[in-house]
Amino acid sequence: MAVTWNTVGMVLMKMGRADRAIDCYDKAISLETKMAEPWHNKGSALYSLGKFSESSAAFAKAVELSPRNEKAWNEYGISDMMLKKFKEAVRSFDKAIQVKADYAEAWFNRGRAQEALAQHEEAIRSFDRAIQANASYYEAWYEKGRRQAFLGRHEDAIASFQKAFHKSQILLAWFCRYASHFLAAGF
């Protein structure tokens, strides 16, 4: 029965009904307290509602019950980032990476948390690992370029931005539009 409630919650999430999905996940949890998936799903639903403290607590329970769930660790870290708990977030991303060493999204998020901690060189290394795991990860190329520019390594930054734009026509279009506004304003 817990699996059924969890599944109904997942369907409600796909329908954009996070509030109702949480009720289903709570029913699943009450029926099977050692089942990690409804805790993970509840964390995702709470996050989607902007309830980051509650989502962080749900992800904490999910990883307690299923410590090899790299996605739950990653989402736990993202919730902690929203709470400005960046050191805790890095630890969660590290746990996700311990489970799956080539988890590009966790490496990327680790870099973002390190950036918030002013650990710029470490952030660049994390973005590099995200890129190693997924060479098409244009967001990682872009963030790497931002860190390089911040550190005054402009040639490296330009190369990273070029890779980001090459990987994403959407990003290139956005940049061109953004640059045209600056040029029109006389900058």
**Contact predicate 147/131, CB 8 Å:** no
pLDDT digits over 115-156, tens only? Answer: 999 999 999 999 999 999 999 898 999 899 999 999 999 899
Enumerate domains of the chain plus CATH numbers: 2-140 (1.25.40.10)
Q: At what angle do helices 138-150 and 120-133 cross, to 10 degrees?
A: 160
Residue 1, classed as helix, strand or coil, is coil
Residue 140, classed as helix, strand or coil, is helix
Categorize the per-residue pLDDT at 163 as very low, low, confident or very high, splitting at 50, 70 and 90: confident
Minimal CA–CA distance to 113: which of 126, 102, 104?
Answer: 126
Average pLDDT over residues 30-34: 95
pLDDT digits over 33-63, tens only? Answer: 999 999 999 999 999 999 999 999 999 999 9
* Range of weakest confidence among 60-74, 81-95, 132-146: 132-146
Helix (H) or strand (E) holding 36: helix 36-48
Categorize the per-residue pLDDT at 157 as very low, low, confident or very high, splitting at 50, 70 and 90: confident
Q: Which residue has the tokens 């904490």?
A: 60
Looking at the chain, the whole-number percentage of residues with pLDDT higher than 70 is 89
Task: State the pLDDT at residue 182.
Answer: 47
> Hey, CA dihedral for 68, 60, 77, 3, is it positive or negative?
positive
Cβ atoms < 10 Å from Cβ of 41 = 24
Contacts of 93 (CB under 8 A, 6+ apart): 73, 74, 77, 106, 107, 109, 110, 113
CA angle centred on 168, ends 91 and 148, rounded to 5°: 55
Secondary structure letter of residue 49 according to DSSP:
T
